[in-house]
Structure 1
Amino acid sequence: MNLHAVALVVGEAGLLIRGGSGAGKTRLALALVDAARRDGTFASLVADDRALVSRHGDRLVARPHPALAGLAERRGFGILPVAHEPACALVLVVDLVAGWPERLPQPDARRCEISRVVLPRLAVAAEASTPDAVVLILSVLAASCGQA
């Protein structure tokens, strides 16, 4: 499945960031990678703009689109080469949404299904500050996966 999304790995946990064009997916992913590395945790981009997601048993694996592997678009700078990993096993989906997410979302809103695999889902306002979003996402990841 070819998704308009960014994939990254923090520790051993793969994250998929979805959102509209210009929503800040790449900016957030690179900020997450930077924050994790500063804390001594391995982190790397896997795919920017297009993530190829496939089911392997009860897991989803994300890989970069071959034409875009090792590249990331930085708004205002263009498409630049970046270090990347070839794949990651997804454990969390982050959706950048317009407006502000519900304060207490229903249980169904806290998960999503991709290729018949259910993953935890976190909705983050696209207009939220990147540092605040990084702290939130790394906290959720640490609580749910023992990572970061």
Structure 2
Amino acid sequence: MTRPAVHANCLVLGTCGVLIRGGAGCGKSSFCDTLIEAALAKGNLGRLVADDYVHVVPEDGRLLASPPDTIRGIMEIRGFGLVDIQYTPRARIDLIVDLVPMERLERLPDAAIVTVCLEGVDVPALSCPANRPDVSLRLVRWALRGLLPDAPDYI
């Protein structure tokens, strides 16, 4: 049986799994790389689960992610090529990040973190600007602080 796959990236920051969605060329891989480096710079775990496509399955009320066999441990670096990278074979998705055009982001949203349903599981979600890893990193940092108030800053 083929598991469902979404066009997205997935990574683990500390103990938190993050699924990054967005259209082609919106900076998913670049942002994923930025988040991994930010976590490592703070002495925390920052590890890829999958780049470009992610298998997602519901299990016990949680959403789990894993890489397709064909791209396991590989990340695309636009302008450089495909590189081998350390990866985690499975992660629980704790936050979904949707990369959208900057003009679609509200300056002061009523709720920065919303809930979306993916594969029948409700998951916190945050919109961040496409191709702006500096701004998006800051938004994800604040989202994680809100979702995990007792956890250290992973990024």
**Is TM > 0.5 for Structure 1 vs Structure 2?**
yes
Contact 2:128 2:139 in 1 (8 A): no
Q: Which amino acid aligns with 2:134?
A: P
- Matching of residues 66-81 of structure 1 within 5 Å: 66-81=69-84
Instruction: Kindly indicate whether residue 122 of structure 2 is the aligned counterpart of residue 118 of structure 1.
Output: yes
Match of 2:67 in 1: 64
Match of 1:137 in 2: 140
Match of 1:94 in 2: 97
Cα distance, 1:41 vs structure 2: 1.1
User: Deviations along 1:25-56, whole A, 9 cap, x unmatched?
Assistant: 01001110110111111110100000000000
CA distance in 2, matches of 1:109, 1:16: 14
Structure 1: gaps of 5 or more residues: none
Name the % identity.
Answer: 34
Tell me the SS of whatever aligns to 1:8.
strand
Tell me the SS of whatever aligns to 2:102.
coil
Match of 1:52 in 2: 55
Tell me the SS of whatever aligns to 1:135.
helix
Contact 2:113 2:143 in 1 (8 A): no
CA distance in 2, matches of 1:113, 1:54: 12
Contact 2:12 2:48 in 1 (8 A): yes
Provide TM-score, normalisation by structure 2: 0.88
Match of 2:44 in 1: 41
Number of aligned residues: 147
CA distance in 2, matches of 1:99, 1:35: 22
Aligned match of 1:103 in 99, 103, 107? 107
Aligned match of 1:13 in 11, 16, 31? 16
Provide TM-score, normalisation by structure 1: 0.92
CA distance in 2, matches of 1:16, 1:40: 21
Across the aligned residues of Structure 1 and Structure 2, the Cα RMSD in angstroms comes to 1.7
Q: Which amino acid aligns with 1:17?
A: I
